[in-house]
Amino acid sequence: MKHTLFFLLLLASFHVFSQTWESLPDQTRTALAPLEPRWDSFDSDKQNQLLNGLKKWQKLSPEAKEQASQRFQKWQQLSPEKRQALRDKMRAFKQLPPSQKQKLRDNMRQFKRLPPAKRQELRQKFHNLRPAQKRAIKQKFKNR
């Protein structure tokens, strides 16, 4: 019984309750101002995700903030279909075993080390392949 009570108290201590917009510090409200109309509709997990993201953002160097802003602008320019496809790929990646994730990361590092012209050439060659050829190449790299 003692252990159960201790476990329940421990579990309860990790639960964070939703915060109202008015309860946020002024600096936080200023930074998250575009979210004000929807803030109170977010569950506590979403609110905490946003607050943690803000903390990370505030710790970034100006260069890192600029890079992140550029990536976000590119993201916003994507069509909804392309965004969803990328989300699906990320979900699939997260479900892979660690060894497969590492293989993909290694392949990507190797690809990024190539000169830009060579990367573009490979992209174009891949783009011109028939679907069955693309699947065969993907399977080959998957089984490496």
Does residue 106 form part of some domain? yes
134 and 108 in a common domain: no
108 and 87 in a common domain: yes
Q: Is 39 exposed, middle or buried (0-12, 13-18, 19+ CB in 10 A)?
A: buried
Does residue 98 form part of some domain? yes
Structure confidence at residue 16 as a pLDDT band (50, 70, 90): low
Q: pLDDT (tens digit, 9 = 90+) per residue, 89-123?
A: 999 999 999 999 998 899 899 999 999 999 999 99
Does residue 1 form part of some domain? no
Does residue 54 form part of some domain? no
104 and 125 in a common domain: no
pLDDT of residue 17: 66
Print the domain residue range for 98: 77-113
Does residue 2 form part of some domain? no
Q: Cα(107)–Cα(78) distance, rounded to whole angstroms?
A: 25
The residue behind tokens 């569950």 is: 43
Does residue 95 form part of some domain? yes
105 and 84 in a common domain: yes
122 and 105 in a common domain: no
Model pTM score: 0.58
Distance, CA of 76 to chain centre: 14
107 and 86 in a common domain: yes
Does residue 65 form part of some domain? no
135 and 120 in a common domain: yes
Does residue 53 form part of some domain? no
Q: pLDDT (tens digit, 9 = 90+) per residue, 36-88?
A: 999 999 998 999 999 999 999 999 899 999 999 999 999 999 999 999 999 99
Domain count, the chain: 2
